[in-house]
Amino acid sequence: MVEQELVTLLLKVAVAASLASILIRFSTFKRMLMREERTLAQRLKLAFGFSLIYGSGVATRVVTRSYHAVDLGLEGSFLSGILGGYVTGLVSGVIISIPAMANGEYLSMPLFAGVGVLGGLLRDGAPDKEEVWRFSPFIDLSLYRLIRRWDDHRRTAFHVVFLIAILFAEGVRWTAVEVFGRRAVFSLHVDDAPPLLVATVYATTLFVVTVPLKIWNSARNEMKLDSQQRLLTEARLEALRSQINPHFLFNTLNSVSSLIRTNPEQARVVVYKLSSILRRLLRKHENLNPLRDELAFIDDYLSIEMVRFGPKLRFLKEIDPETLGWQVPSMILQPLVENCVRHGISGKVDGGTIRLRTSLVGGKLHLLVEDDGVGIPEAKLATLFERGIGVTNVNQRLKVFFGNDYRMWIDSKPGEGTRTEIEIPSMQPALAAVS
């Protein structure tokens, strides 16, 4: 008999872990776990979720008259209270007990409801809601901290009370069976049980509450890390984008200043076009844009430079129509085209040509920006990704979006020109969410 009860207790812990794993698969439940403050409607929704899972276990035990290990009604009521508050615990306790009440176990409803409220009151008394997730059944370390670190006494005392509350709930159930009989409430009670078996029953209840908390806390931590990583990526992209915009503005204003004395009318036209570009930049905050939008921005930018350089600057485009809808990081082409103008074409007396080509190669987007300007010396080309603001910015943003799943390379020959090529995969949903 004792051996059979020990097997049932072991199965009970396994069932608790399984039910916790099932619950965490529901996205709605996972979102609920991330909230520390909930509206009344959200508390009730959480209560119904707990009731469905743990109430089904009680119903299975009642209907089959066996499978005692699946009945986690007491523990489920306590968990709903400690995670959702006393309202959630009360509602869950009442609903979970309905199958047992229908079976004539008349103390189930007041017991489960009371345990649910107990869990909610314990949650309200926590020094920090995160302490609920840090609870451990191994209380020896908490007792040690309580004695040695009095400054942390409230936090440690909460963990001690947490443990006592779980044991108290099992003690009430055990006592109810002894006083009112087995028909009053279900329990794995054994008459004249040896002390070791009684201690095992209490320890099982403790672990049936703790194991789901640890499983759900692991999922919460993963969600928090994902959220923090996404926020970090967004912040990094925003910093890189804010870096390139002043760089573009600074260089354009230099162009205006050079025209003010020599050709005021052209300077006025450049300022007008610049204002149009700035209005567009201020309206757009996305980190991703369709390629057609980036090409339109290049046209606006080059219209400014062509006012300054006139026929010395020529621009050719070879655009594959199938590439126009591809999502690309915003402002990914403008720094490269600007480098062609500033460092390639402007240094030639007779000017030069900038070529921009887009194509699909092996299911990836291939971008080419090249000029026939003065070129880059080999020594400077070796450190270009470390020193050039525009090139470095583009490379870093590509790395944020694609990791190692992209290619960017620059070839240049002095006196012949510079070629910059980029190869990127299709934007995945997770990457597109950054925008």
- How much is the pLDDT for 415? 86
What is the layout of strands, in order, in the sheet containing 352-361? 313-319, 352-361, 364-371, 417-424, 407-413
Q: What percent of the chain has pLDDT over 90?
A: 32
- How much is the pLDDT for 37? 77
Give helix 108-124 / helix 86-96 axis angle, nearest 10°: 160
Residue 385 has pLDDT above 70, yes or no: yes
- How much is the pLDDT for 422? 94
Give the pLDDT confidence of 264-276 residue by residue, as tens digits.
887 888 788 778 7
- How much is the pLDDT for 2? 65
Q: What single DSSP character describes residue 323?
A: G
Residue 411 has pLDDT above 80, yes or no: yes
- How much is the pLDDT for 224? 76
Residue count (the chain): 435
H or E stretch covering 301: helix 291-309
H or E stretch covering 371: strand 364-371
Neighbouring C-beta atoms of residue 40, cutoff 10 Å: 10
Task: Give dist(CA 231, CA 123) in Å, integer.
Answer: 29
Q: Reduced to 3 states, what is the DSSP secondary structure of residue 189?
A: coil
Give the pLDDT confidence of 21-42 residue by residue, as tens digits.
888 888 888 777 777 778 888 8
Architecture of domain 263-432: 2-Layer Sandwich (3.30)
Task: Give dist(CA 273, CA 279) in Å, integer.
Answer: 10
- How much is the pLDDT for 155? 79
- How much is the pLDDT for 226? 74
Residues 6+ apart with CB under 8 A from 136: 142, 159, 210
- How much is the pLDDT for 300? 81
pTM for this model (two decimals): 0.60
Mean pLDDT of 79-93: 93
Residues 6+ apart with CB under 8 A from 181: none
Q: What single DSSP character describes residue 343?
A: I
Residue 59 has pLDDT above 70, yes or no: yes
Q: What single DSSP character describes residue 105?
A: -
Confidence of residue 239 (pLDDT cuts 50, 70, 90): low
Instruction: Measure CA 296 to chain center.
Output: 33
- Which tokens hold the place of 267? 């300077």
DSSP string spanning 219-245?
HHHHHHHHHHHHHHHHHHHHHHHHHHH
- How much is the pLDDT for 286? 64
Q: What single DSSP character describes residue 90?
A: H
Mean pLDDT of 185-194: 79
More confident residue, 288 or 59: 59
Residue 407 has pLDDT above 70, yes or no: yes
- Residue 48 burial (10 A CB sphere; 0-12, 13-18, 19+): middle
Task: Give dist(CA 256, CA 269) in Å, integer.
Answer: 9
- How much is the pLDDT for 35? 76
Query: For residue 410, what are the β-bridge partners?
Result: 420
Give the pLDDT confidence of 151-173 residue by residue, as tens digits.
567 777 888 889 999 999 999 99
- How much is the pLDDT for 230? 65
Strands 352-361 and 364-371: antiparallel
More confident residue, 43 or 147: 43
DSSP string spanning 347-363?
TSTT-EEEEEEEEEETT
Most confident of 60-69, 236-245, 272-281, 316-325: 316-325
Task: Give dist(CA 263, CA 168) in Å, integer.
Answer: 89
Half-sphere exposure of 388 (CA within 13 A, CB side): 20
Residue 209 has pLDDT above 60, yes or no: yes
Most confident of 109-118, 285-294, 421-430: 109-118
Instruction: Indicate the domain borders of the chain.
Output: 2-227, 263-432
Residue 284 has pLDDT above 60, yes or no: no
Q: Is the sign of the CA dihedral 377, 383, 388, 393 positive or negative?
A: positive
CB 321 within 8 A of CB 356: no
Mean pLDDT of 15-20: 90
- Which residue's structure tokens are 């703790």? 210
Neighbouring C-beta atoms of residue 36, cutoff 10 Å: 11
Query: For residue 356, what are the β-bridge partners?
Result: 317, 369
Closest CA to 80 of 49, 34, 39: 49
Give the pLDDT confidence of 327-370 residue by residue, as tens digits.
998 888 888 888 888 888 887 888 899 999 999 988 899 999 99
More confident residue, 223 or 416: 416
Average pLDDT, the chain: 83
Task: Give the range among 107-121, 281-295, 348-362, 392-406 with minimum mean pLDDT.
Answer: 281-295
Closest CA to 77 of 88, 61, 66: 88
Q: What is the CA radius of gyration of the chain?
A: 34
CA angle 375, 378, 381 (to 5 degrees): 75
- How much is the pLDDT for 235? 57
End-to-end CA distance of the chain: 62
- How much is the pLDDT for 245? 56
Residues 6+ apart with CB under 8 A from 400: 233, 236, 237, 240
Residue 202 has pLDDT above 80, yes or no: yes
Strands 417-424 and 352-361: unpaired
- How much is the pLDDT for 354? 93
Confidence of residue 402 (pLDDT cuts 50, 70, 90): confident
Task: Give dist(CA 266, CA 270) in Å, integer.
Answer: 6
Most confident of 242-246, 249-253, 410-414: 410-414
